[in-house]
A and B are shown apart, each in its own frame.
Chain A
């Protein structure tokens, strides 16, 4: 995944906080995806304006360390499931 791509949720997917699970979830047309806290933080920054690199940089203010490859791999998996799309820079 290029670091200068700009990730965002696809049009048919919304992120919500599920109070029962106490986790953020992605609601799609035919599935629910339960996110761990790090994943929810990443997607909260994916607004189609920030690049993948900028998302990772912002996370550095919140976490003791950030593994850029793990951020990219996480987004790649969601692209595969058509929950995230990457706008070209």
Chain B
């Protein structure tokens, strides 16, 4: 059984 990661909206934080 193949486990796939839950999709999370791609994002970033600029420092």
Residues of A within 8 A of B (CB): 26, 31-39, 41-42, 61-67, 70-71, 74, 77-78, 81
CB distance from A36 to the nearest CB of B (A): 5
Q: Mark B1-15, 1 if CB is under 8 A from A, else 0.
A: 000111111111111
Total number of A-B contacts with CB less than 8 angstroms? 57
How many angstroms between the C-alpha atoms of A66 and B5 in the bound complex?
10
A74/B15 contact (C-beta < 8 A), A63-B4, A63-B5 known: no
State whether B4 touches A62 (Cβ < 8 A).
yes
Chain A CB within 10 Å, residue with most, of B9, B11, B12, B13: B12
Contacts beyond the supplied A36-B8, A62-B4, A64-B4: 9 A-B pairs with Cβ under 8 Å: A26-B12, A33-B15, A36-B12, A38-B9, A39-B10, A42-B10, A63-B6, A74-B10, A74-B11
Q: A33 is contacted by which of B7, B8, B9, B14 (Cβ under 8 Å)?
A: B14
State whether B10 touches A31 (Cβ < 8 A).
no
